[in-house]
Amino acid sequence: MNLDSVTIIINSAVRVIVSTSLPTVGVGLLVGLLIAVFQAVTQIQEQTLTFVPKMIAVMFVLALTFPWMSSMIIEFANSLWINIPLYAR
């Protein structure tokens, strides 16, 4: 296993991680921003007002995208297992 193959594996792993986490992180960021703007406008400084809607939105998006996320992760893991003989050279 040389440096190029390690770099390719790490690059593809980072791509899978970023692409699978992007929907949930993006929705959490968007909901948090909307709640922060609402709090700034109304001057309500309640801690649970930011946490609960963000948690509900993230769980909803996670439930919607879980089949896609798991298929991407399983596909990546399968490609690693299949290519072990190529990496062992």
**pTM of the complete model:** 0.78
Question: Buried (b) or exposed (e) across 8-44, using 16+ Cβ within 10 A?
Answer: ebeeeeeebeeebeebbeebbeebbeebeeeeeeeee
pLDDT band at 89 (very low <50, low <70, confident <90, very high): confident
Q: How many CB atoms lie within 10 A of CB 73?
A: 14
Mean pLDDT, the chain, integer: 92
pLDDT tens digits along 60-86: 999 999 999 999 999 999 999 998 888
**pLDDT attached to residue 26:** 96
Q: What percent of the chain is predicted at pLDDT more than 70?
A: 100
